[in-house]
Structure 1
Amino acid sequence: MLRLTLALALVASPALASNERAFAPNPDGTTSFIMPSGNVGCTYIPAGGTPVYQTMTGMAELHCTIVEPVYTTVVLEAHLGAPQPIRGGEAPGLPMAGALPYGSFWQAGPFTCLSSRNGLTCTNASGAGLRMARAGVVTW
């Protein structure tokens, strides 16, 4: 009986898929990653925010930034619809973070992001999302 219970526990325990990547949280509780190109990066902000940043709705947010061709940031909220790109004149750069390899995905809270050679695609629990690539930024 103990063997059967242990076998069922091993089968039922969640494991990272071979192409899923996880990143250690930053000291402030956020989690960041960049694309292998170094042109796109995202920071996950957990529900409630951080000691220095409170999310607008109190829910989790995903802040994604592309540097080239036009520095643009998109804030994807946990359950809200289409985000609006924010174009900035000053480019502070991307977070210092691990790379999300092409063909891999990352997920936390209500967000899932897929890295490909054609860009980064992220969605929230409601299906709203963004796509960032040198060809441009698209939100839905």
Structure 2
Amino acid sequence: MRRAALVMAALVLATPASAVEFKESPYGFIAFTMPSNNVGCIYRDEEGTGLVLECDRAEPSYVRVRLFQDGKPKLYKDVADPSCCGAENDFPYGTSWRKGPFSCASTKAGLRCNNGEHGFSMSRSGVKTY
């Protein structure tokens, strides 16, 4: 009986966040913003590079991370075209999103996205790539 209770507790803790779907723009990309309005992302198919997820953080310093369908993300600290945030799609805390090779999770601690092998986390307190 104790073992069954432990298994049930593990299953509850492992339950993934509820999934959301975002409306695609008339131009073929998907843009979403975290509830803090400090982090926003754009998912699109770029000619020549394939699928890309690009996320910007506005404060405390403006940075951008580009995650491609394959390989490690690239962090940009000197962004020439800051455009974050305010997308029509809100990415509520406690939810997840998946499209193509990318999956993301939104929490009060920040945004976390990956392409299956590599990814990044982004919040007001920092940005980490892996």
Do Structure 1 and Structure 2 share a fold, with TM-score over 0.5?
Answer: yes
Consecutive unaligned residues in structure 1, runs of 5 or more: 1-16
Distance 1:18 1:138 in 2: 21
- For residue 104 of structure 2, the aligned residue among 113, 119, 136 is 113
Distance 1:79 1:90, change over 3 A: closer
Q: Judging by fraction of residues, say which structure has more strand.
A: 2
Q: Are positions 1:70 and 2:61 aligned together?
A: yes
Give 2:84's aligned residue.
93
- Give, as a single letter, the amino acid of the residue that structure 2 aligns with 1:129: G
**Displacement after TM superposition at 1:78 (Å):** 0.2
Contact 1:71–1:89 (8 Å) recurs in 2: no
Contact 1:45–1:62 (8 Å) recurs in 2: yes
**Displacement after TM superposition at 1:93 (Å):** 2.5
Distance 1:64 1:28 in 2: 18
Distance 2:34 2:83 in 1: 17
Distance 1:72 1:135 in 2: 12
**Displacement after TM superposition at 1:28 (Å):** 1.1
Distance 2:41 2:80 in 1: 19
Q: How many aligned positions are there?
A: 114
What TM-score do the two structures reach when normalised by structure 1?
A: 0.75
Contact 1:42–1:95 (8 Å) recurs in 2: no
Contact 1:35–1:101 (8 Å) recurs in 2: yes
Aligned pairs (5 A) from 1:1-140: 19-46=18-45, 49=46, 54=47, 56-57=48-49, 59-80=50-71, 82-87=72-77, 88=79, 91-125=82-116, 127-140=117-130
Distance 2:17 2:103 in 1: 15
> For each residue in 1:65-115, what CA deviation from the matched residue of structure 2 results, as whole angstroms up to 9, or x when unmatched?
1000110011100011x2221112663332522111111001100000000
The percentage of aligned residue pairs carrying the same residue is 35
Contact 1:75–1:85 (8 Å) recurs in 2: yes
Distance 2:40 2:83 in 1: 12
Consecutive unaligned residues in structure 2, runs of 5 or more: 1-15
- Give, as a single letter, the amino acid of the residue that structure 2 aligns with 1:138: K
